Structure 1
Amino acid sequence: MTHSALPVIMDGDPGLDDAVAWLLALASPEVQVLGLCAVHGNVALPLTTRNAGVALALAGRGDVPVYAGTDRPLLRAPLSAATVHGDTGLPAAHLPEPVRPPEAGHAVTVLIDAARARPGALTLIATGPLTNVALAFRLAPDLPGLLREVVWMGGSTGHGNSTPAAEFNALADPHAAAVVFTSGATLRMVGLNVTMQCVASPERIEALRQLGNRCGEVCAELLTFYAGVYRQRYGLSGGALHDPLAVAAVLWPELLTWQAMHVEVDTQPGPNFGRTVCDLYGVRHQPANAHVAVGVDDESFFTRLLERLARLP
């Protein structure tokens, strides 16, 4: 870690690609990970909280606290992605036990306190439903202006993956996403339109395995499970590295192409429920409320991911 390391809090629902994302952050000296905040999503909150602790144990980072957050969306019924991530969220054998229990504080309170302690400095990397973030914004109306930025893996400029219109993290709590996109916070969105270009092909999985460390082996095992789902569902050679790309957006923003635009989250019942409506061409003449990733150098991204994961135990 360098003296100029960017303070970050990770908020997500691990989930296998969240775990890879958090390992990337924990291996990177550009950021100081202040805490991991768990939320409902890929699997239930008790499992996402435990999986956060497992990721820390894999990284050898018993110094980072874990906080449990919200166990359900603001309004809609809970979703699960266990068919994609396995029943536990981390379908790998012989995983380590968490080295410390979750802290007593609630993730929402932690987000508020951390931002107020570091006005203008804290980056929030969110890789799950935005329920924790939205509740923090509602409880502390000053919070959006105190954060350096929110970087969210979610949504899409086009297609969905849970419905034809909606990406999972957006669909899992669209009302929370709507709160965040209308909050005035500095916001970057890393959606399916770029993450689906970052595929963990068999060759890339083998490269992870050849790192020769425990983290590389676990990531290879997780992504092998993931690949089976993606081959069957999307006809791809492997699973997409959705959440790691959101971390890369903070570490190496130059690897992505960004476009400022207005994004609206559809919260009305119907086929577009949960869709992130991205005004790519400014046809509605609304002010931009997010910088949205529209391109990615996936080869450079994976090269850097390998280099960082090689640093871990």
Structure 2
Amino acid sequence: MRTIVLDCDPGLDDAVALMLAAADPHIELAAVTTVAGNQTLRKVTDNARRLAGLLGVTAPVAAGCGRPLVRTPAWSTVHGDSGLGGVTLTNDPVGLDPRHGVDLIIETVLAREAGVVTLVPVGPLTNIAMAVRKEPRIVEHVREVVLMGGGYHAGNRTAVAEFNILTDPEAAAIVFGEPWPVTMVGLDLTWQALATPAVLARIAAVGTAAAELVVAMLGSYGEAYRAHRFTEGPPVHDPCAVAYVIDPTLITTRRAPITVELTGTATLGMTVADFRDPEPDCSTQVAVDLDVPRFWDLVIEALRRLP
């Protein structure tokens, strides 16, 4: 059993990540925190609360940072005005925890024994960076950080920068710069996780309300991604980070120091992975290859367990 804090900005693929975290028996979802990214903090928090209500999540849900540390906020167009594309959730939301998301992260980590809680941020890294600055003890207390963001080959927001990192590159620099174990599940990996028509057919065959919701969300997601030449199906980024926590054998990783570019005119937000003979104490690694069939098996089995 792995205990996680899911820091997210739902977001279509965030929604699938939350479903996977809520349903897999190997995961204890200790807390859900939200951060502005795919949409405003108000919208992503409402989405997270309604998804939690739909899925029967009992973990506290708290709103975190509403803007990057330094930069001007910029929302994603892929996820639509609501953050969930054309899908509207009408169910009752779970209550909002009164704590700030940063405080919930800190308190959840420190309430457990050292080495128990894994942080899984799948949006901009603002909350995680703020938590580190407010309470540095969490660096030695967490088990690891498994984040969705970055890429060592190419970007999606620019030629070299991925959206989550570019949204708050200073926060990313803080997170990568701390000496805790970090696994970067970036675009090089997540672009392998395509929700093809065959995958959508398998999900639809599950026949549950959760599965129907995923098909609707990924259909909307696919329409947006076709403009970016993903004709086979949209890449489903965020569940890959959760899947790695559940079963690390699904993903091949490679150890490398990672630097976030903060000053380049054309390279701001680039995650530079140095594959040249990393030092033995290198604490960062990047995800390289995904076992695609087993990944989708994991997601679909989780959907079968949901209400």
TM-score normalised by the chain length of structure 1: 0.94
Distance in 2 between residues matched to 1:44 and 1:135, nearest whole Å: 18
Match of 1:91 in 2: 85
Residue by residue over 1:243-296, the C-alpha shift from the partner in whole angstroms, topping out at 9 and shown as x without a partner, is 00000000011011011110000011411000000112348x796231211111
Is the contact between residue 51 and residue 93 of structure 2 (CA under 8 Å) also seen in structure 1? no
Q: Which residue of 2 aligns with 1:253?
A: 248
RMSD over equivalenced CA pairs, Å? 1.5
Name the SS for the 2:65 alignment partner. Answer: coil
Q: How does 1:238-277 map to 2 (within 5 A)?
A: 238-277=233-272
Residue 50 of structure 2 contacts residue 94 of structure 2 at CA under 8 Å; is this kept in 1?
no
Measured against aligned partners, the alpha-carbon deviations of 1:209-267 in whole angstroms (never above 9, x if no partner) come to: 12111110010001001111222212431110100000000001101101111000001
1:130 is the counterpart of 2:125: yes
- Does the C-alpha gap of structure 1 residues 94 and 266 become closer, same or farther in structure 2, counting only changes over 3 Å? closer
**Partner of 1:290 in structure 2?**
284
Amino acid at match of 1:311: R
Aligned residues with identical type, % of pairs: 39
Superposition deviation, residue 56 in structure 1: 1.1
* Alpha-carbon spacing, 1:120–1:287, altered in 2? closer, same or farther (3 Å): closer
Partner Cα distance (1:237, 1:168) in 2? 21
Q: Which consecutive residues of structure 2, in runs of 5 or more, have no partner in the other structure? A: none
Q: Is the 8 A contact 2:195 2:233 kept in 1?
A: yes
2:108 aligned partner, one-letter code = A
The CA deviation string for residues 108-151 of structure 1, in whole angstroms up to 9 with x for no partner, is 01111111111221111110000000000011111111101110
**Partner of 1:258: helix, strand, or coil?**
strand
Match for residue 191 of structure 1? 186
Instruction: Kindly provide the amino acid, as one letter, of the partner of residue 49 in structure 2.
Output: G
* 1:55 is aligned to 2:51: yes
Contact 2:12–2:83 (CA under 8 A) maintained in structure 1: yes
The alignment partner of 1:210 has SS state of: helix
Over 3 Å counting, the alpha-carbon distance change for 1:94 and 1:50 in structure 2 is closer
1:94 positional shift: 5.0
Alpha-carbon shift at residue 96 of structure 1 (Å): 3.6
Contact 1:181 1:263 in 2 (8 A): yes
Q: 1:204 to 1:106 in 2, by over 3 A?
A: same
1:299 and 2:293 matched: yes
Matches within 5 A, 1:202-281: 202-281=197-276
Change (3 A) 1:268 1:131: same
Give the distance between the partners of 2:191 and 2:92, measured in 1 at CA: 31
2:59 corresponds in structure 1 to 64
Q: Which residue of 2 aligns with 1:35?
A: 31
**d(CA) in 1 for partners of 2:110, 2:55:** 28
1:164 aligns with 159
What is the DSSP-based 3-state SS (H/G/I as helix, E as strand, rest coil) of the residue aligned with 1:104? coil
